[in-house]
Amino acid sequence: MWVLCLGALVIICITHWVYRWRNPSCNGKLPPGSMGFPLLGETLQFFSPNTSCDIPPFIKQRMKRYGPIFKTSLVGRPVVVSTDPDLNYFIFQQEGKIFQSWYPDTFTEIFGKQNVGSLHGFMYKYLKNMVLNLFGPESLKKMLSEVEEAACTTLQQLSCQENCVELKEATARMIFDLTAKKLISYDSTKSSENLRENFVAFIQGLISFPLDVPGTAYHKCLQGRKRAMKMLKNMLQERREMPRKQQKDFFDYVIEELRKEGTLLTEAIALDLMFVLLFASFETTSLALTYAIKLLSDNPSVLNQLQEENEAILKRRKNPNSGVTWQEYKSMTFTFQLITETARLANIVPGIFRKALREVNFKGYTIPAGWAIMVCPPAVHLNPAKYQDPLAFNPSRWEGMELNGATKHFMAFGGGMRFCVGTDFAKVQMAVFLHSLVTKYRWQPIKGGNIVRTPGLQFPNGFHVQITKKDQTHQRKHEPEYTTTN
């Protein structure tokens, strides 16, 4: 008899637990939605791969069923998903007051517990100023020639290869080498260990189901982080033991800060910051650059406009072989429109996470204190009510608009006080590479180029192209920069 009673008690407890999971307590009215299965929530559906260029199916289906604000559960946490521009704007404006930056525990494991995304208040502003010291506009003016040299060298090497090249890999290598040089004076040709290989392993599991079991993408990701952090720690230790007097890089700046009495910086924070900067700079920019060239391949009329603007810059020069000046860079109006349109369509960051510090009431719904909120950029960027023919690649839609930050309808680089500090650096690299590409080279897509979102943007088969140098004397005036194969 007691066995039946115990079994009944267990069933009652489980039933109650499942009920409470699916019906969380709230002082007001929670947004509509489903919490999915206990613990697992709707995580599998969220990470399910899709090939759509539209709003992710996971989001679109729930928007249609529940509206622009809905609840769900991801990786064990209750989450309110916002596709509402007004709520998104409110969240960004109330950063540090009502909301603060938050990411799932799995992200913290990957990026480090002291990573810049997990820090708040004065400490975050302190690190942000450190980064702007290296990648702010004034520093970029001095760095412009290095960016152009890296682009020209890469394109020259790619054009000399008989076989086609995988563009995402080639641009990632270029950007990583440049960024690592500026940050830690790392030279892959002189190092006995390949630092970037560890980041490749890291990237493959970044947007994957968080199962830390040997053989899974997430496990490989954590192992890649461990190896990369070991290399960075050894490099920092060597630099501290043998400081340099000249050729200042970010490591030198970090060491100076660590030596100051009463400094807020610790070695752990510095290493996590270095790790995030290396990852964010090359992975996101190389994805955007590859996607831009893929879009140009599919849209010859846009390519012609880009070519005309950049060739006009060469014609205005007294010496056509001189490098890009800051004034010339700032004059690339259509190029910037193209970069903005690429960022709108690419949606490299599928979600921006925050946490409610206290109970929030908005448009009749209550967000309980401690709940996570995911702002969904794709739903904003592909909203037909704001963007006419939202899936079309149309850089001219940005004509006459100057974006120096986020708006209610554009947040490809984040928003509020956490607007991405590397935005200007990414734009410089993209603009200069595209300038060198369309004025001196042509390309022919060979294979790949298809995209998959899991939910982040990926090129599972790469984007393989053949790059050749232009024959300036025989090229017709309006000959396209690329050719396609059947």
> Binding site for heme: residue ranges?
420
Hey, what are 69's tokens? 């604000």
Residue type at 215?
G
Q: Identify the helix (H) or strand (E) that includes residue 466.
A: strand 463-469
Q: Residue 228 in 3-state DSSP?
A: helix
Q: Rounded to an integer, what distance in angstroms lies between the CA atom of residue 180 and that of residue 190?
A: 13
Q: Report phi then psi at 371, rounded to 5.
A: -75, 150
DSSP secondary structure of 281-317: HHHHHHHHHHHHHHHHHH-HHHHHHHHHHHHHHHHH-
Beta-bridge partners for 99: 95, 356
Cβ–Cβ < 8 Å for 375, 411 = yes
Q: Residue 147 in 3-state DSSP?
A: helix
Q: Report phi then psi at 458, rounded to 5.
A: -140, 155
Strand 372-375 to strand 77-82: parallel, antiparallel, or no bridges (unpaired)? parallel
Q: Is 215 exposed, middle or buried (0-12, 13-18, 19+ CB in 10 A)?
A: exposed
Q: Rounded to an integer, what distance in angstroms lies between the CA atom of residue 19 and that of residue 14?
A: 8
Hey, what are 220's tokens? 């490989």
Cα-only R_g, the chain: 24
Name which of 226, 225, 207, 223 is nearest 215 in CA terms: 223
The string over 399-415, giving b where at least 16 C-beta atoms fall within 10 Å of a residue's C-beta and e elsewhere, is eeeeeeebebebbbbbb
Binding-site residue set? 420
Q: Identify the helix (H) or strand (E) that includes residue 5.
A: helix 2-22
Hey, what are 11's tokens? 């069933």
- Residue 424 has a CB neighbour count (10 Å cut-off) of 17
Q: Rounded to an integer, what distance in angstroms lies between the CA atom of residue 403 and that of residue 345?
A: 16
